[in-house]
């Protein structure tokens, strides 16, 4: 099974106006829902970012994606096993989903950094 996704802005009518749907979520949202009575199907996620200059660049999932992509996958009948992403050295890394969850150096996007400033 293959699905794909890409980053895009939420609609202007969304309560989270200005935020984006990241490629990870976009790809999971495109997956066909499975029968709820079946065991979760293990899947892998591959996230590759191509810069404006055409080079592979960092695509490690952000804190928000890590917190939510397993929930999204589970709702559709899937369980994320591993996540592949490009790093700053233009290499592909493979991490288990658990490793991503336990990572102490999670990236926070500008949208959520700014949202946190507004709450204070």
pLDDT tens per residue across span 64-93? 899 899 999 999 999 999 999 999 999 999
CA distance 62 to 109: 7
pLDDT at 107: 78
Helix (H) or strand (E) holding 21: strand 20-21
Q: Domain map of the chain by residue range? A: 8-119
- Rounded to 10°, the helix 23-30/63-75 angle is 0
pLDDT for the residue numbered 120: 45
Cα–Cα dist 42/21, whole Å: 23
Torsion angles phi and psi, residue 57, rounded to 5: -140, 180
Enumerate residues 6+ apart whose C-beta is below 8 A from 94.
82, 83, 84
In three-state secondary structure terms, 4 is: coil
Question: What pLDDT does 117 receive?
Answer: 54
Q: What is the pTM of this model?
A: 0.81
pLDDT lower than 50: segments of the chain: 118-120
107, 62 contact by CB (below 8 A): yes
């Amino acid at each position: 099974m293959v699905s794909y996704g890409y980053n895009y802005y939420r609609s202007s009518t969304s309560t989270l106006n200005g935020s984006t749907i990241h490629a990870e979520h976009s790809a999971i949202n495109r997956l066909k829902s499975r029968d709820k009575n079946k065991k979760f199907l293990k899947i892998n996620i591959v996230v590759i970012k191509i810069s404006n200059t055409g080079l592979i660049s960092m695509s490690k999932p952000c804190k928000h994606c890590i917190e939510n992509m397993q929930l999204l996958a589970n709702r559709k009948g899937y369980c994320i096993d591993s996540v592949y992403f490009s790093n700053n050295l233009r290499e592909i890394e493979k991490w288990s989903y658990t490793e991503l969850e336990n990572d102490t150096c999670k990236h926070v996007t500008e949208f959520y950094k700014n949202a946190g400033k507004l709450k204070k």
